[in-house]
Amino acid sequence: MSEKLVGAKRQGALRELHGWSEVLERDAVRKTYHFADFPTAWGFMTQVALLAVKHDHCPEWFNDLGRVEIILYTRAADGVTAKDIEFAHRLDAIAPAHDR
């Protein structure tokens, strides 16, 4: 099981990411991606789903028209781990340029 990232380790990991922030209500991180329309957003979500299966990760998400909000945390650790930060980097790599 991965250890939770806390304190300076978490802050350092978040500084490596563009647009990701801590979820205030619980131990998680989130980002909102923006797309021109619903089909493009759905295509991104399909790519995320394939990555999630490949990397054994299960993000929470919300989609509304051209917006996709993703929340990451590791359930087994009940918080944010290095696995979440690594997955966030993977998501940013496939995101539109303006959200990287």
Domain spans, the chain: 7-99
Residue type, 100: R
The single residue listed with the structure tokens 């995101």 is 95
Average pLDDT over residues 57-75: 94
- SS3 state at 63: strand
The conformation of residue 84, written as its DSSP 8-state character, comes to H
Q: Which tokens belong to 84? A: 């979440």
Total count of residues recorded for the chain? 100
CATH of 7-99 among 3.40.50.10540, 3.30.2420.10, 3.30.1360.20, 2.40.50.100? 3.30.1360.20
Beta-strand runs (E) in the chain: 21-22, 29-34, 60-64, 67-72
48-63 pLDDT per residue, tens: 999 999 999 999 999 9
Confidence label for 99 from pLDDT (cuts 50, 70 and 90): confident
- Residue 1 pLDDT > 70, yes or no? no
21-45 pLDDT per residue, tens: 999 899 999 999 999 999 999 999 9
